[in-house]
A = this chain, B = another copy of it.
Amino acid sequence: MCGLFSLCKCGVTSVAFEAVCPIPLSQYPTVTMGHGGGGRLTQMLIEQLIQPALTNPSLDRLHDGAQLEVGGARVAFSTDSYVISPLFFPGGDIGSLAVHGTVNDLAMCGAQPLALSVGMIIEEGLPMETLWRVVQSMRDAAGAVGVPIVTGDTKVVDRGKGDGIFLNTTGLGLIPPGIQIDPQRAEPGDIVIVSGPLANHGIAIMSVREGLEFETALESDSAPLHTLVADLLAVAGPAVHVLRDPTRGGVASALNEIAQAARVGILLEEKNLPLDEAVRGACEILGFDPLYVANEGKCLVIVAADYATLALEALRRHPLGAQAAMIGQVTSEHPGSVVMRSRIGGLRSVDMLSGEQLPRIC
């Protein structure tokens, strides 16, 4: 196989290698937790190392999923691995999360789910009962969505070489005619809507990990968004330019990626950000900015201004969008950046997450 690495003299001399490896090895000799955090380091890994190597038009769009033509239909194709810790948490578990997460990635392409695959990497010694609970949770979540899990794979790794169970789900979905969702389609004047309050998933996970108890139970918002998206597209169809579920890295990182992809600015209004009181309190105690905390049942919608009210109303009629809110606007100013107007009127830059805020969040 060595011949195939002729461009990269790995292990021969680090100088020759470093001349070719697109990540500076002196700065990042190894992969760190931050490279998986969904922020700046993840973006660097993907945009500098992975995407240029594997380049093709679908991958280069860096969307939540690929869009392909298959047999005359437009198909969305998306993959995600799930490494969340703990496996069971308030409001969900790794099984339901793996179904919801990939259904949502398809939905963010405007697609309705057709089929899922599941790959399980199980650590030797996992209680059989735990596997059974996870499989049942996948069954129930897929049943509720109405998407079959049509093919799968099971691997077992030695004790100490995994962490209970990791899942991968990959999904196929059908994109309706006339729908063209693409991060590059954000245009100055478009309105930014979020489908509900921020940060519930991340804060629920963190409270379990830290053993924190709050007066109000904090639950993950893990939920499948395909019917919410269908309702949205039914009223605003082609006026919906971008959809994105703000998971790892939160709303801040997702909007920064969109601003960079479309070369536009985004102006957020802090006073409009929906936030549950319990989550607000937990964020203050834990020192987290909810803009950077993961969500698993919310989507960002970037829609032409003329359709923004219709879109908001459609979201609010859906049980998962009752607290949807217009939170900002796409601008031609400060292209590539996100800026927020605070409650007292000042402007501050909202950067991507740098490093790792909450490891193993999904």
Whole-angstrom CA separation of A150 from B57 in the bound complex: 8
Bound CA–CA A68/B36 (angstroms): 33
Residues on B with C-beta less than 8 A from A130 are 10
Interface residue? A161 (CB, 8 A): yes
Query: Is A150 within 8 A of B70, CB to CB?
Result: no
20 residue pairs from A and B, CB less than 8 Å apart? A1-B88, A1-B90, A5-B133, A8-B129, A8-B133, A10-B130, A21-B132, A33-B124, A37-B156, A53-B139, A56-B150, A59-B148, A68-B114, A68-B150, A70-B114, A78-B151, A80-B119, A83-B157, A117-B170, A157-B163
Whether B59 pairs with A152 at a CB distance below 8 angstroms is yes
In the assembled complex, how far is the CB of residue A166 from the closest CB belonging to chain B, in whole angstroms? Answer: 6
Contact yes or no, B23 A54, CB < 8 A: no
CA distance A50 to B140 in the complex (A): 13
Contact assessment for A35 and B153 in the assembled complex, using a CB-CB cutoff below 8 Å: no
A77 lies within 8 A of chain B by Cβ: yes
Per the bound structure, the CA–CA distance linking A78 and B91 in Å amounts to 30
Main secondary structure of the interface of A (DSSP, over half): mixed
Partner of A30, one of B53, B66, B90, B127: B127
Size category, A interface: 35 or more
Query: Is residue A15 contacting chain B, with contact meaning CB distance below 8 A?
Result: no
Which of chain B's residues has its CB closest to A2's CB? B88
Q: Mark A131-163, 1 if CB is under 8 A from B, else 0.
A: 111011111101000001111111111101111
Interface presence of A309 (CB below 8 A) = no
Determine whether the beta carbon of B17 is less than 8 Å from that of A54. Answer: no
CB distance from A2 to the nearest CB of B (A): 9
Q: Inside 8 A of A37's CB, which chain B residues have their CB? A: 156
Q: Are B128 and A54 in contact (CB under 8 A)?
A: no
CA distance A153 to B35 in the complex (A): 12
Interface hub of A30, A68, A127 (most chain B Cβ within 10 A): A30
Q: Say whether A35 contacts B154, CB under 8 Å.
A: yes
Contact in complex: B70, A172 (CB < 8 Å): yes
**B72 near A129 (CB under 8 angstroms)?**
no
Assembly CA distance A10 to B115 (angstroms)? 29
Expressed in whole angstroms, the minimum distance between the Cβ of A81 and any Cβ of chain B is 4
The 8 A CB mask of A67-102 against B (1 = contact, 0 = none) is 010111101011111110000101111001000000
Instruction: Please state if A54 and B156 are interface contacts (CB–CB under 8 Å).
Output: no
Q: Contact between B158 and A161 (Cβ–Cβ < 8 Å)?
A: no
| B136 lies within 8 A of A172 (CB) | no
Top 8 A-B pairs, shortest CB-CB distance = A71-B73, A36-B156, A66-B150, A170-B170, A79-B117, A58-B150, A71-B71, A168-B168
The proximity string for A residues 45-59 relative to B, scoring 1 for CB distances below 8 Å and 0 otherwise, is 110011001101011
When distances are taken between beta carbons in the complex, the residues of chain B under 8 Å from A122 are 31, 35-36
Are the C-beta atoms of B172 and A31 separated by less than 8 Å? no
Is the Cβ of A59 less than 8 Å from the Cβ of B149? yes
Q: Which of B22, B150, B359 contacts A59 (CB 8 A)?
A: B150
Which listed residue (B68, B92, B121, B128) contacts A25, Cβ 8 A?
B128
A59-B152, A162-B163 are known contacts; what are 10 more A-B pairs with Cβ within 8 Å? A1-B137, A5-B133, A8-B133, A10-B129, A11-B129, A31-B125, A68-B150, A119-B119, A158-B163, A161-B163
